[in-house]
Structure 1
């Protein structure tokens, strides 16, 4: 890892509250070194066939028409507000987007939480604050360097996981949102976003850490799956993996790694 990446890694650890360099388990400095493990003969790598994309729940025709007719982001927001969904009746505010739409980098999360519902903006609660610190550690600011939205524009009651029917209803709007924002790269935050837009069966821990291509019907853009900040708050041990994803993103944006 180069000097800039090491300094950024240290900055992120400080932001996450690390103040000591400790291993996860004590080390006996007086113990004899362990015997080397036997080396097994290398086996030739076998390429796995690409998994078939998972089928999606039927998309309501009315939602597909509303999304297709939206000619710009303002029209798309109005179309989402007009879409018939029970979530609209239990939420306070429609949560559409935040950040710089011309940045070329678009982040897609799952659904608004309570703070987002109150303010009408994505990622403004505790997990959003963590997300901002994470991206600041690689030199990216919400105001100038990335753009944010969610699969669902309305908060599900109790912050529950979106249902397949809810995802299907709002998928045409998400895809149209990506098309209108026209990012060069997409980051998928969490399992719902990654599995929906990649049409993948695997969970986020298997999808993260590498670049994918959105399916042609989803725009075909380079997409990096990573862990949702809310998950990192519950599972601090996973922050190492999230940091690796951020380094990969930064190296790609800097042109040092191709998104393949």
Structure 2
């Protein structure tokens, strides 16, 4: 069959196509691209490609899932299990330990901090580093201790987040939001008489505002419980001149627990 090309003309045409970047034969017959464009303009039903990887469905709303799990917890053990199994927070993958609480859950006083640091991540308990040691000394000054067996002198401690943020950075808003339902359930199940909010993060989570320098020393309420914002011990280590205000706040907590607040 005469194609209209002699050998040299055909070779020249092939060389020209190779120079343009055509390096593979797609079909034996020519394709009318104008006809293809017309066909593409017509709506057609989507066809799945063979061996296509299915696109996963969008994940559930983390905050809604946290609310569901928190509402289902009937005791502190159930709440801890629900939080540890919560898979929506990326911090879990980089942390060593799940840090839930420390102290006596029957304590009249409950302290809420920010998040675990390096020492807390290693120990699996909140407030065990330098800031935690300072906190223990502060509490001892008013006759309180996390290890006290009686509820009147005991302290129960937790954090907004149970997983350590990388480089001890401040928790992000999305992280706070997804753990807030757990924190609210934690307070409801522990039933403290007095709450201390240590630093900006618990104030942001439970009160919806921050600015601890302005807020400290002023009583407010969280879930029906009297709550006092205070400086975080880590801040006091950096700013020891603020210990005077912290001591005044501790005396205020002591007076409230004794019924004089």
Contact 1:195 1:204 in 2 (8 A): no
Instruction: Give, in whole Å, the separation in 2 of the partners of 1:60 and 1:130.
Output: 34
Contact 1:232 1:238 in 2 (8 A): yes
Confirm or deny that 1:157 pairs with 2:161: no
Hey, what does 1:81 align to over in structure 2?
84
Instruction: Give, in whole Å, the separation in 2 of the partners of 1:254 and 1:128.
Output: 24
1:58-89, Cα deviation, whole Å (9 max, x unpaired): 96211110111111111111100111211000
1:202-231, Cα deviation, whole Å (9 max, x unpaired): 4001111121112xxxx1211011000000
Which of 107-116 and 135-144 deviates more? Answer: 135-144
Aligned pairs (5 A) from 1:56-71: 60-71=63-74
TM-score in terms of structure 1 length: 0.73
Aligned pairs (5 A) from 1:141-152: 141-144=145-148, 145-152=154-161
Confirm or deny that 1:171 pairs with 2:180: yes
Instruction: Give, in whole Å, the separation in 1 of the partners of 2:196 and 2:119.
Output: 22
Hey, what does 2:116 align to over in structure 1?
112
Structure 1 alignment gaps of length 5 or more? 1-57
Contact 2:100 2:126 in 1 (8 A): yes
1:152-202, Cα deviation, whole Å (9 max, x unpaired): 0000000000000000111110000000001111100001111221122x4
Instruction: Give, in whole Å, the separation in 1 of the partners of 2:225 and 2:108.
Output: 11
Instruction: Give, in whole Å, the separation in 1 of the partners of 2:140 and 2:226.
Output: 22
**233, 236, 239: which is aligned to 1:235?**
239
Structure 2 alignment gaps of length 5 or more? 1-60, 149-153
Hey, what does 1:197 align to over in structure 2?
206
**99, 105, 116: which is aligned to 2:103?**
99
Larger radius of gyration, structure 1 or 2?
2
Confirm or deny that 1:222 pairs with 2:226: yes
Partner SS state of residue 186, structure 1 = strand
Instruction: Give, in whole Å, the separation in 1 of the partners of 2:100 and 2:192.
Output: 16
Instruction: Give, in whole Å, the separation in 1 of the partners of 2:213 and 2:62.
Output: 27
Instruction: Give, in whole Å, the separation in 1 of the partners of 2:197 and 2:179.
Output: 16
Instruction: Give, in whole Å, the separation in 2 of the partners of 1:204 and 1:166.
Output: 20
Aligned alpha-carbon RMSD (Å):
1.1
Which of 76-85 and 58-67 deviates more? Answer: 58-67
1:106-133, Cα deviation, whole Å (9 max, x unpaired): 0000000000000100001110000000
Instruction: Give, in whole Å, the separation in 1 of the partners of 2:123 and 2:234.
Output: 18
Partner SS state of residue 181, structure 2 = helix
Hey, what does 2:144 align to over in structure 1?
140
Instruction: Give, in whole Å, the separation in 1 of the partners of 2:64 and 2:204.
Output: 22
